[in-house]
Amino acid sequence: MSYQEKRNLVKPLKMKTEPTEPSDKELLFEFVEKCTEFINPALYKELRRRNIAYLVEGLPFNKADARVEIVARLHKEEEAAQKRKLRQQQREEDERNERNLKREEVRKFYAQYKVPFRFKTEIKERLSGLREGSSGNGSARNTVLHLVTLEGFQEGRLKREGHQFLCSQSASKWSANWSGTLGDDLGQTWSDGSYNQYQAPITCKQCLKIMERWKVQ
């Protein structure tokens, strides 16, 4: 017998396929067929594992009626899920619109000024905001956003080096660069509706007071 003839005699191996789990709907109808009179513990346990056991509570004993009831309950579940999805989509849309509106407000805020040097927005860190159980970023409930210079400048008696707060040249006892990270990142940023980052607005009253000299007339 030739080699080719021997190969033709060899039966191809059948690949074993993993059994697929029945869908929730299939499992519910299986319950109707098997458990309307006597509960199958293993089947009911699987329904509980999938959190759908409540759909078989109080079913009619008649299988035909039970099938109709299961269909009605599934339809009600699908409608509820669709409503939840629509509500979630609406919430997300509202949040996007709110974020975009806030970005436009910030754009208008910065359009009022012509600051003659590069800067970013930053907080003055507080030790209380770095301790365990705090926000972890050095901020507190009443933390404001300051202008921090990215390069040195002098305008009359006003002089700042790079990476200094506009409102004060040195940190006070209560606010400082405790983490040592100020000046190492892009500063405080917010996100618009598309999650694009942009510079947060200045809210420190003293910084805003000094910035008045650069306000566009």
Comparison of pLDDT for 54 and 179, the residue scoring more: 54
Helix orientation angle between 63-111 and 24-35, rounded to the nearest 10 degrees: 160
159: tokens are 């002089």
Strand, coil or helix: 194? coil
Distance CA 149, CA 202 (A): 13
State the residue for tokens 């519910």. Answer: 28
Cβ contacts of residue 91 below 8 Å, gap of 6+?
A: none
DSSP 92-151: HHHHHHHHHHHHHHHHHHHHTB--SS-EEEE--B-GGGTSTTS-SSS--TT---EEEESS
Please give the Cα distance from 177 to 127 (Å, whole number).
9
Cβ pair 59, 37 in contact under 8 A: no
Q: Give the number of C-alpha atoms closer than 13 A to the C-alpha of residue 201, restricted to the C-beta side.
A: 15
pLDDT digits (tens, 9 = 90+) for 167-199: 987 544 334 554 444 545 668 899 999 999 999
Closest CA to 108 of 1, 15, 198, 7: 198
Residue 14: its pLDDT value, please? 60
Q: What is the average per-residue pLDDT within 19-33?
A: 88
Mean pLDDT value across the chain = 82
Q: Which residue has the higher pLDDT, 134 or 119?
A: 119
Confidence grade of residue 136 (pLDDT, cut at 50, 70, 90): very low
pLDDT band per the 50, 70, 90 thresholds, residue 103: very high
Q: Provide the 8-state DSSP code for 215.
A: B
Q: Which residues pair with 154 in a beta bridge?
A: 159
pTM exceeds 0.75, yes or no: no
